[in-house]
Amino acid sequence: MRCAFCKLGISSSQPPTQGVVLWAAMEDSTDQPRLYTADAAALLNVKPGTLRSYVSRGQMPAPDGADRLKGLWWHEATLTAWERPGRGNWHTARP
């Protein structure tokens, strides 16, 4: 089995010193619970795929952190302060 560095054409005995970032974990400095994609989607009442689309298009606030195994996460306060795209007066009756 080949290592991640080997797949990039870099010797595993000499890891890269610059130019290659395999994963950069962000630390959480608060005691607030982390909402991963499925939890964040449930809070916003959207499907996880919709949430991933918002992220890929840059329509969501930046994640509060990232976990190497579980992926991006947000704090509830970050998501509730955000006004989701398409959330205008669509629910009001038109005259």
- Is the pTM higher than 0.75? The answer reads no
Chain segment 12-34, per-residue pLDDT in tens: 455 444 444 444 444 556 678 99
Query: Quick one: tokens of 38?
Result: 């499925």
Query: Quick one: tokens of 92?
Result: 């009001």
Report which of 95, 37, 41 is spatially closest to residue 64, judged by C-alpha positions.
37
Query: Quick one: tokens of 28?
Result: 């959480």
Model confidence at 39: pLDDT above 70:
yes
Model confidence at 44: pLDDT above 60:
yes
Mean per-residue pLDDT, 51-69: 91
Residue whose token pair is 């009001």: 92
Who has greater pLDDT, 39 or 1?
Answer: 39
Chain segment 76-95, per-residue pLDDT in tens: 999 999 988 776 544 454 55
Contact between 68 and 25 (Cβ < 8 Å)? yes
Which residues lie below 8 Å from residue 14, measured CB to CB, with a gap of 6+? none
